[in-house]
Amino acid sequence: MEREDALNLVKKHVKTVNLIKHMLAAEAVMASLAEHLGEDEKQWALAGLLHDIDYDKTANDPDRHSLVGGELLEGLGIDKDIVYAVKAHNEFHGLPRESLLDKALWAVDPLTGLLVAAALVHPEKKLKAIDVSFVMKRFKESSFARGANRDQIKSCSELGLDLEEFIKISLEAMQNISSDLGL
């Protein structure tokens, strides 16, 4: 599936603007990680863009989230590795995260939210105004962005990345699309 087709699919199934922005952020970060790790950028970007395709429908039913999306993507003939990563990014299903793609999507999902929250508490309220040091300080504050699971983010070590490097790659990717994110 080409990126334009995937974006149209997202816009068809997702009506929440901030959720679309989250999916765009995940797309950008996944593409940057793939480039850094020598993986398939298009595949990883698509996984990031499509990972919450069903969230508007399943937000109140976490047991179904990502399974509904995985089935939708499977029915459209999306690469089986992307479908599996989408399904495995929801811990409710207990699916093992085996590939680097699975592990990356798992770690990226909460980090994008943490980075947005960090930008929003900065006086400029812009991604370009924050750096890794600023994010690390917020990361260590347990009361900050409570929904961003720190252990999940720290699983970046399974990608061979330390936390600061993971944050740097992710922040730069999101800064590059800051206008699309409104930040």
pLDDT tens readout for residues 8-24 = 999 999 999 999 999 99
**Domain range for residue 98?**
3-181
CA 19 to each of CA 16, 113, 118: distance values in angstroms, whole numbers, following the listed order: 5, 10, 17
pLDDT of amino acid 69: 96
pLDDT, tens only, 24-75: 999 999 999 999 999 999 999 999 999 999 999 999 998 999 999 999 999 9
User: Strand, coil or helix: what is 76?
Assistant: coil
Question: For the domain that residue 66 is a member of, what is the CATH number?
Answer: 1.10.3210
pLDDT of amino acid 94: 86
d(CA 156, CA 84): 19
pLDDT of amino acid 93: 84
Would you say 183 and 127 are in contact if contact means Cβ atoms under 8 Å apart? yes
* DSSP letter, residue 149: -
pLDDT, tens only, 90-133: 988 889 999 999 999 999 999 999 999 999 999 999 999 999 99
pLDDT, tens only, 74-88: 999 999 999 999 999
**Domains in the chain: how many in total?**
1
